[in-house]
Amino acid sequence: MEEELLAIKENDTWDTVSYPSNVRPIGFKWDLNSLAGCQNSSSIDTTLKINVEYRREEGNIFPDPTKFLQLVWSLNYLSITHPNISFAVQQVSYFMQAPLHLHLVAVRRIIQYLLRISTRGLFFPSRSSIRLNSFSDSDWAGCPDTHRSITGRCMFLGE
């Protein structure tokens, strides 16, 4: 990994500049926030509620799921730069065909979580060794709806 970072620096792949002191970056997630209707909501610490099963149950299906689809697609795109929301986005993606109100609430919760972490970032000291550790797990036929297998992975970069 250090070789790749050194190559980027030596090849002048990009120029980095600091933000001026009076400027704060505003990105894609704020547009998403207004689309979901979460402008005045408070931020939260987790992407999904604990011990809530997001299953295909009977309930009120949205007559036009376009808004839900736009939000999930946008979150899916945003998960490229925010991998900590990937699992939650994957969970709500299962219900794109027939979303219920519960699923829209879960999407709004992910957006509220993004509000919470918008000022956070990663810090890698220049003298630290960059080490990648990876772990994986699987559950044969673990999904209660489809009986498909579930796999998960976790990666740690740095100390």
What radius of gyration do the chain's Cα atoms show? 19
CB 32 within 8 A of CB 71: yes
CB 139 within 8 A of CB 120: no
pTM of the entire structure?
0.49
Strand partners of residue 137: 152
In this predicted structure, what is the pLDDT of residue 50? 55
pLDDT of 71 higher than 80: yes
Residue predicted with more confidence, 113 or 50: 113
pLDDT of 52 higher than 70: no
Write b or e for each residue in 140-149: b if 16 or more Cβ atoms lie within 10 A of its Cβ, otherwise e: eeeeeeeeee
In this predicted structure, what is the pLDDT of residue 46? 61
